[in-house]
Structure 1
C-alpha cells in the first residue's frame, strides 16, 4: 500500500485501539521521510572522492541514469576511471556541474525541499526516494510469536507482539503490481501480467531499513504477511501454473521456500506442498518440483 492508503486506514481505527511499541515503530518507518545516509554535501571537501551510488543519491537519480550520462559527452559530472577500478567522482567536479546546470536560486531550492518534506509528512507523497531509487509501495508486517502478520490484523492486546518490519518495493516493480492486485481475482492478475509479457522471475529491488536487497516476486510472496484466504491460495497456484520459480536464490543464497520456512509462513508452505502432491498424483514423475520445471506448463 502507499503511505496515503496506510494513513487513511490508521485514521479510521477506533480511539481505544491497542497499539504496542512495535506498531508505533512500524508506523514511523512507513510514514516518516527516510533521510539519505549522508546529506552534509555542503561540508564535503572538494577533493573528496565518491562512488556512483553516492552521486546517484546526491542527485536524486538512479545509478542506471548516471551510467547513461557517462556515454554522452558533457551530460553528467566529470568522472575518474582507472583500469580495473570502479568509476569515481570528485566532489569539486560535481559542484562545478551543479553550477553549470542550476538555474533556480538557492532560496527557491530550499523552499521546494521544505514543501516536499511537508507533503511527505502529511502522507501526500506516493513515492519514497532513497539510494538513488524510487519506492512506491510498502508492506508493514507485525510479528506475532515470530510469525509475520498483516499490520491491521494484529491490533489485539492478547497477541504476543515480537517485532515488526517495513519493506518498500521498487517503483513499478512486479512486487508492487502483485501487492496492489491482491484485491482482484487471481485470473485477472495473471491475465494482466501475461498481457504485459511479464517475467514472473525477474529480479526486483526491495528496501528493508536502509538495506537494498535484490529478490524475486517469489521471495516477496514468501515473506508477505499472509491473509489465509482462498483468493490468496488461488493466486499463488495461478502464479505456479504460470511459471513462477520458488527455487531461485537471493543474494544471501536463500530461495523463497527457505524464507517461507524462516518466516513461519505455514499457509504458503501448505499450498506449495499440495501443489507438488497434486502433480505427483497426476503424472508418472516422482514429484512435481515447485521451481523451474513448472515453466513447461506455462
Structure 2
C-alpha cells in the first residue's frame, strides 16, 4: 500500500487509484559527483525507475488520473503537451496497458533526438496524435474534435491536463513526500535540506511541497523553471498548492492543514534558456557530468537544467555541508 494511504486510510477509500509503478524508487548517493565539489551529501531520488515499461515522474500522477478515468467509465483519454512530450507518451503507454484509447494534442517545440523517439513510441502504442503550431491553432480544431467524439461515443474523452498537473494528479507527489520520509526513517538518506526538482506544469514540485510538509520534514523544495513563466510562476504555484490541499482535506479532514509562506516558493529562474526545450550550455554540461561521474542519464529539457541549478548552488554558494537531493524525473527505461 502506498504511504499516503497507510497514513490516511480515508483517502484510500475515497481516492481513485490504479497501481502502475514500482515504488518506492531508489535513493542513490552521488559520491563521485560529490567529489567534484567537495561534498559528501549529494543524493539522487531515481524516479526514472518508477515503472517497468516506462519511468519518470508522470507515473505517480497517472496512477490517480487514470484511476479516476477508469472509475468514471472512460474508454478514451485525451491529453496535451509539446511534440516530444514525455507526459503524452507516458499517458499513451499506461492507457494502452489499461485498455484505454489515448489521444494526444501536441504543440511545436525545438527538435531533439528524444522527440522522434517519443513520437514513434506513441504511434506504436496506438495513440491518436494531432499536431498544432501553438495553443491558439489547436483550440478550435480540438473543440470540434471533442464534440464529434461526444456525438459518436455518447461521452467526452477523459481529459488530462498538460503534465497531469491537476490537483488530483499532484497527489501522486504528495504521496512521494511521504515515501521520502519513510526512506529517511529507514536511514537510506539523511533528511535533505533541499530537494531540487524541475518546474514545468508544477504538479511535481507542488505535490512534493505539500507531502514533505505533511510528513513532518523540514526539507525545502527548490523548483528550477524549465517552462515559460506564464505556465510556471509563483502565483500559479500557490494556487495549485491550495487547490490540491483543499481536495485532500475534502476527502479526509484529518490530513495536516499545511501552509506555504511566500518566501518558501523557491523558483530558480536563470536556467530556462528562453524557450521550452531549448538546450542550454549549462544544462548539457550537467548532463555530461552526471553521465561521466555516475553513469546516470539526464536530458536537456528538464533534468539537465535542474542539475545545472544544483551544481551552481553547490559550487558557488557555500552549502557543501547541506544534504542536497536531486529528484530525477527522467525516464530511465529503454
TM category, shorter:
under 0.3
TM-score (norm 2): 0.24
Query: Based on CA coordinates, which of the two structures has the bigger radius of gyration?
Result: 1
Larger RCO (CA within 8 A; separation ≥ 6): 2
TM-score (norm 1): 0.26
